[in-house]
């Protein structure tokens, strides 16, 4: 169950929420701190919203970055998609429109995990030169089976037989029925809270009760919950994308690769696959004591790593 709103506010910092129209009347909500610094785009995944970056925004703004933290379309405070599209290319176009067209930045660096890490290849490849640096952790890698095989990486266990994959199967193949079963705000919040708790995506005790409530509360809305799981339907062909994603080629952008090993959903060979898919990489580095939500679980490590990886780009004191 979500905690009272006053307790959520006391437990976590507040940031001003901005809104801008980016696609066919679609308004994205975002935090923007450190204006005048080098633009740094933080992209959340699922089951997350911009709130997953709450421990990174202030330190990175103080380090000289203009920190831009949106809710993806259909998540959090952002609008539902007027055209019904929640695919990788649509998300990438939204983010480019926000950072480039609305905020006026010709280039940026991007940091992402989970769904955000699947959007990043499309964003970088579809708009050449726009993303100058990347930092990725605990996400899916581009579909490159021949390249992975050539690197000696064994074919992974099919999702259908993975112990932690039941959520994926329901959300990608039976989303309407799942949403119908979760027919109250409390049931939706309880479902989302599981991913921060007993499903062991995170390292033990890295999310307290107030943290879990804070992360889960945005999914209490029925329409937003259904939109958030629509992202999974594209991977199984149960929802048609308006255009193919740029997810079938290597990404030649300098990339810092991190991995939280206490993660029961991302395959343990993620670091090796990421090193193939992002040939201009630094790392991969394992971050002990972190799992799927590395930006929260090891916030100090990520913040410091970005300060140095992007040292030549950031504007200290701006």
Q: Is the pLDDT of residue 317 over 50?
A: no
Q: Is the pLDDT of residue 6 over 80?
A: no
Q: Judging by beta carbons within 10 Å of its beta carbon (0-12, 13-18, 19+), is residue 240 exposed, middle or buried?
A: exposed
State CA 144 to chain mean position distance: 21
What pLDDT, in 10s, does the model give residues 32-90? 999 999 999 999 999 999 999 999 999 999 999 999 999 999 999 999 999 999 999 99
> Pairing relation of β-strands 108-113 and 131-137?
parallel
Q: What is the mean pLDDT of residues 98-121?
A: 98
Q: What is the mean pLDDT of residues 212-221?
A: 97
Q: Is the pLDDT of residue 315 over 80?
A: no
Q: What is the mean pLDDT of residues 125-150?
A: 97
What pLDDT, in 10s, does the model give residues 257-280? 999 999 999 999 999 999 999 999
State the Cα–Cα distance between residues 207 and 289, nearest whole angstrom.
13
Is 152 inside a domain boundary? Answer: yes
Q: Is the pLDDT of residue 212 over 70?
A: yes
Is 58 inside a domain boundary? Answer: yes
Tally the domains of the chain: 1
Is 18 inside a domain boundary? Answer: yes
Which of 176, 280, 159 is closest to 222 using CA atoms? 176
For the domain that residue 155 is a member of, what is the CATH number? 3.40.50.1820
pLDDT at 314: 79
Is 314 inside a domain boundary? Answer: no
Residue 159 CB neighbour total at 10 angstroms: 15
> Pairing relation of β-strands 281-286 and 108-113?
unpaired
pLDDT at 10: 44
Residue in this structure with the two tokens 């079963």, named with its chain if needed: 181
- Measured CA to CA in angstroms, residue 91 lies from 84, 121, 224, 265 at distances of 12, 11, 15, 23
Q: What DSSP designation does 138 have?
A: S
Q: Between 23 and 281, whose confidence is greater?
A: 281
Is 13 inside a domain boundary? Answer: yes
Could you give the percent of the chain with pLDDT greater than 70?
92
pLDDT at 161: 46
On whether the CB atoms of residues 224 and 80 are closer than 8 A, the answer is yes
Which helix (H) or strand (E) segment is 22 a member of? strand 17-23
Q: What is the pTM of this model?
A: 0.94
Which helix (H) or strand (E) segment is 111 a member of? strand 108-113
What pLDDT, in 10s, does the model give residues 230-259? 999 999 999 999 999 999 999 999 999 999
Is 54 inside a domain boundary? Answer: yes
Q: CA dihedral defined by 174, 179, 182, 184, rounded to 10 degrees?
A: -170
Is 315 inside a domain boundary? Answer: no
What pLDDT, in 10s, does the model give residues 298-307? 999 999 999 9
pLDDT at 24: 81
What pLDDT, in 10s, does the model give residues 159-202? 554 557 889 999 999 999 999 999 999 999 999 999 999 998 99
pLDDT at 160: 52
Task: Tell me the pLDDT of the chain averaged across its residues.
Answer: 93
Q: Which domain covers residue 278, as residue numbers? A: 5-309
Is 164 inside a domain boundary? Answer: yes
pLDDT at 11: 53
């Amino acid at each position: 169950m979500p905690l009272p709103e006053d307790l959520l506010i006391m437990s976590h910092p507040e940031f001003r929420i901005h809104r801008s129209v980016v696609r066919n009347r679609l308004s994205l909500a975002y935090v923007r701190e450190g204006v005048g610094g080098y633009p740094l785009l933080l992209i959340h995944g699922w089951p997350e919203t911009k709130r997953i970056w709450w421990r990174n925004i202030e330190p990175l703004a103080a380090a000289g970055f203009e920190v831009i933290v949106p809710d993806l379309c259909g998540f959090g405070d952002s609008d539902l998609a007027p055209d019904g599209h929640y695919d990788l290319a649509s998300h990438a176009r939204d983010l480019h429109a926000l950072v480039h067209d609305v905020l006026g930045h010709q280039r940026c660096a991007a940091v992402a995990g989970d769904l955000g890490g699947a959007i990043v290849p499309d964003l970088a490849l579809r708009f050449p030169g726009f993303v100058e640096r990347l930092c990725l952790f605990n996400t899916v890698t581009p579909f490159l089976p021949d390249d992975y095989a050539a690197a000696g990486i064994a074919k992974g266990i099919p999702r259908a037989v993975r112990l932690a994959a039941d959520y994926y199967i329901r959300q990608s193949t039976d989303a309407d029925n799942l949403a119908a079963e979760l027919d109250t705000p409390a049931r939706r919040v309880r479902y989302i809270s599981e991913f921060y708790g007993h499903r062991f995506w995170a390292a033990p005790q890295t999310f307290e009760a107030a943290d879990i409530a804070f992360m889960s509360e945005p999914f209490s809305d029925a329409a937003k919950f259904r939109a958030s799981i629509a992202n999974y339907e594209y991977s199984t062909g149960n929802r048609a994308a308006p255009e193919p994603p740029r997810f079938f080629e290597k990404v030649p952008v300098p990339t810092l690769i991190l991995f939280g090993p206490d993660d029961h959903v991302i395959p343990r060979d993620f670091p090796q696959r990421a090193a193939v898919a992002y040939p201009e990489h630094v790392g991969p580095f394992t971050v002990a004591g972190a799992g799927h939500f590395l930006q929260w679980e090891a916030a100090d490590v990520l913040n410091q790593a970005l300060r140095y990886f992007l040292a030549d780009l950031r504007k200290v004191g701006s």
